[in-house]
Amino acid sequence: MAHSGQTETAVLVAMLGERAAVNVRLALVADEQQWQLHHGQVTFEDEAPLTERVWRYSTASFLELRLPGPTVAALLRGDEQDIHGLQVVAPGPPTSSASSSRLRGQEEWGRVTTPWPRTEWTINRDSNTPQPGYDLLVGDGPSFLNFDQALSAFLYQRPHDSNAGRSDLWRIVLPQRAGWLSQITIGPDLLTAVVDGEALDGAVLELSGAADSERQSVDGAGTYRFALPNGLAHDSLLMLRHEDQSLDWRSFPALTYGRARDASVLWEQPGPELELLLANGEGKYLECKREVPEGESRKKMLKTIAAFASQDGGTVLIGVRDDLQIVGLPEKPTVDKQELQVVGMIRDSVEPAPPYKSRLIDHDGKKVLVIEVSGGGQMYAYREGQRAEFYVRVGPNTVPARHHEIAAGFRQAPTVTTF
């Protein structure tokens, strides 16, 4: 299957109809004598254990159940179904096709990562569909201030934020556990891959680059190694395959120090890490701060973080002077408190919550705080009071985004989030 495309809804209905049972999570909204589906998640699992959950309120219900495949197929087709004593119907006429995405293992999609590859189909909700209210939810389940908070807690087990809303009516997930790459470590002269899976007979592990390629037969789950006498070539591809079918893969584009890396791949680079980060100086993907900033310097850092997230990502180093001298964080307050201070700044001033990680690097006894920001595939705003501002990175400078850049950023924002 291609990385993305379209699938006829009738094909999904047939797939569900052939399954004895599937795992389902449903968010329902009361509508006169019926319950309308607000969001449904289906996972094709043959015998996966499931702990049922049922939260019932006067205006909303949330169900996690194992249901017969034909029942879910009928609901997807638009037929009213009796589910756990509730008359449930999907709003509006069924759409003719679903968007499909083929995701590799360890790939984050809307803040969710699974070790194994998966195919996901999404069907968007009609924009004219009535939205749930914002009344208090008190009933046979935890109490919530409103529907959005309940939905976030039910689906994600996390507090509601601006990323938690869903535009999709259905999300259907097919795990693909034949084989996957559970961990990859890249050193100066060796690539090590840990392979796992349920059907690895006849599989091949291939490392290919522009100049050459090497293959190894996979005789089961375990650790496999590729020698790298000249280091890892730029734009290399590691593919776990069975004949002409890809099972899992990782690509390794040319490294740009200062940008966030694939968290599923461990890099064991020669030499001190900070020296590598600073090798090319401040630029499009790297910003340095002497200490946790205040005042206008604080605003500048937060605008830069929003710009990193809106584009291709980048790194902020705190404890490094503008001339790239590593001075480390001051002793007081503690480095942990300084890290929490920065995390709080980002939480309060960048919307939606940007994809980033914070960590500390010890360099010759000096602590440096690293904020690694990933590109989020959409526009992120720096907010001050009621005003939201959008920024981009041009070389080493953070500048206001132009109207067409903002519009393009919102057009490319992903509609698939977490499950």
- pLDDT per residue as tens digits for the range 137-148: 999 999 999 999
% the chain with pLDDT above 90: 60
pLDDT of residue 410: 67
CATH 2.60.40.1870 placement within the chain: 180-252
In the predicted model, is pLDDT for residue 261 greater than 70?
no
Pairing of strands 180-186, 190-196: antiparallel
Contact 251, 262 (CB under 8 A): no
The whole-angstrom separation of Cα 39 and Cα 68 is: 18
Q: Does domain 180-252 have CATH number 2.40.30.10?
A: no
CATH 3.30.950.30 placement within the chain: 274-411
224: which residues sit within 8 A by CB, 6+ positions away?
192, 193, 194, 195, 205, 216, 218
Helix axis angle, 9-17 relative to 69-77, nearest 10°? 160
pLDDT of residue 167: 77
- Least confident residue range of 35-44, 51-60, 100-109, 174-183: 100-109
In the predicted model, is pLDDT for residue 74 greater than 60?
yes
Which residue matches tokens 């690895």? 200
Higher pLDDT, 324 or 407: 324
Structure tokens given for 7: 């699938």
Nearest to 123 by CA among 68, 87, 76, 74: 76
Q: Does domain 274-411 have CATH number 1.10.3720.10?
A: no
Mean pLDDT of 320-328: 91
Helix axis angle, 335-349 relative to 295-310, nearest 10°? 70
